[in-house]
A = this chain, B = another copy of it.
Amino acid sequence: MGDPLKPKAIVLLSGGLDSTTCAAWALREGYEVVALSLDYGQRQRIELERARAVATRLGVEHRVVKVDLAVLGGSALTDPALDVPKDRDEEAIGAGVPVTYVPARNTILLSLALGLAEVVDARHLVIGVNRLDYSGYPDCRAPFLRAFEELAQVATRAGAEEGVRFEVLAPLLDLSKADIVRLARSLEAPIELTHSCYDPDPEGRSCGRCDACRLRLRGFAEAGCEDPIPYAEGGAP
């Protein structure tokens, strides 16, 4: 039933490095964590397995909501007809909204987290957006997070009737990928269970060449340590 003295936080957990670090951070901050993953029809089913493994390792409750965002279309992460870009340099990765953008994804994620927060009586929603996401994804910036908090006040029973304040916590917001790697290590987050690749091989090994892999690998290199997950032949740097 959880400790009634501990505040509860809903942590959005994709199974990636960022959200896993967030979950470990929320535990260290003293929250009782309820992890929420979205099964949104992502082509890479391995993400959900890793989210499950991370939640189990951290010993936190985990719920998975199925939402078939593929019905909406528009993203290489759900639409098999769109190609995942490979071998792009930093400049190309940073320019414009990427094809891997899932329309309104963080709005949908936070909405579901808000619904769960109402049910389990949590007031904090934790999301792993960070500086790297800024350039490409509009729903990863501070103004979006503040606007969502405003919405939560008027959207919910607790906010509208009882004056409760909901808070969206984004502990990685101003961190680089190298900073996140350092934070994950200092929190002893289970980095080895995480998955970031948009295009892993059939054994689940990361390609090392998509934007997510390139940014991840650069983060580890800058933090001066090795990424413990397996990469496909010729994929690792």
**For A64, A72, A101, which residue has the most chain B Cβ atoms within 10 angstroms?**
A72
Are A104 and B147 interface neighbours, CB within 8 A?
A: no
Which residue from chain B places its CB closest to the CB of A64 in the assembled complex? B71
A223 interfacial by beta-carbon distance below 8 Å: no
Task: Give A112 to B156 CA distance when docked, in angstroms.
Answer: 18
A149-169 to B contact mask, C-beta < 8 Å, 1/0 = 011111111011100000000
Are B111 and A108 interface neighbours, CB within 8 A?
A: yes
Which A107-139 residues have C-beta < 8 A from chain B?
Answer: 107-108, 111-112, 114-116, 118-119, 138-139
A105 interfacial by beta-carbon distance below 8 Å: yes
Are B67 and A71 interface neighbours, CB within 8 A?
A: no
Which residue from chain B places its CB closest to the CB of A151 in the assembled complex? B147
Minimum Cβ distance to chain B for residue A138 (Å): 4
Give the residues in chain B near A160, CB-CB below 8 Å.
138, 141, 144
Give the residues in chain B near A73, CB-CB below 8 Å.
119
A225 interfacial by beta-carbon distance below 8 Å: no
Are B154 and A147 interface neighbours, CB within 8 A?
A: yes
Minimum Cβ distance to chain B for residue A143 (Å): 5
Task: Give A60 to B69 CA distance when docked, in angstroms.
Answer: 20
Minimum Cβ distance to chain B for residue A96 (Å): 8
In the assembled complex, 30 residue pairs joining A and B whose CB atoms fall closer than 8 Å, in A order, are A63-B72, A64-B71, A65-B72, A66-B66, A72-B112, A72-B115, A72-B116, A74-B115, A97-B161, A103-B119, A103-B156, A104-B112, A104-B114, A104-B155, A107-B115, A107-B151, A107-B152, A108-B108, A108-B112, A108-B115, A111-B111, A138-B154, A138-B156, A138-B159, A141-B154, A141-B160, A144-B155, A147-B154, A150-B151, A151-B151
